[in-house]
Copies of this chain bind each other. A is one copy, B any other.
Amino acid sequence: MRKILAVTKAFADENRLRILAALEHGERCVCEITELLELAPATVSKHLSQLYHAGLVDSRKEGRWVYYRLADEDPSPAARDAIAWILNSLRDDPVVRSDAERLAQIDRTEKALPPCPVPPRG
């Protein structure tokens, strides 16, 4: 019951749902999610921590950045089902769709300029 509740509580917040939807098509660093949600970095970090402890996301550190992604390796069956259900439920949501457009914009910006987000020296 504790594990299930960790998942359902993780789902019970709009910003965390937006994060999960944002990760559907690939990993994102914390600063990108922060920009998307327009929240303080501390707040986003805490949301990601909750998603991590619920087994819904994994993370990877690269230089100054920490990239989060949906839990894919060692996915507990429960976590996999949970992710599948919530992403399907969010599929047609206007907020999620709008976020997806903004994320695509971020992708284009990153590809136009050199490397990661906020490239060191323009």
Contact = CB atoms under 8 A, between A and B. Distances in A.
A116 interface: no
Interface in A67-88: 78, 81-82, 85-86, 88
Give the dominant DSSP class at A's interface.
Answer: helix
Contacts of A1: 14, 17, 93-96
A9 interface: yes
Count of identical protomers in the assembly: 2
Contacts of A9: 12
A8 B17 contact: yes
Interface of A: 1, 4-5, 7-9, 11-14, 17, 78, 81-82, 85-86, 88-90, 93-96
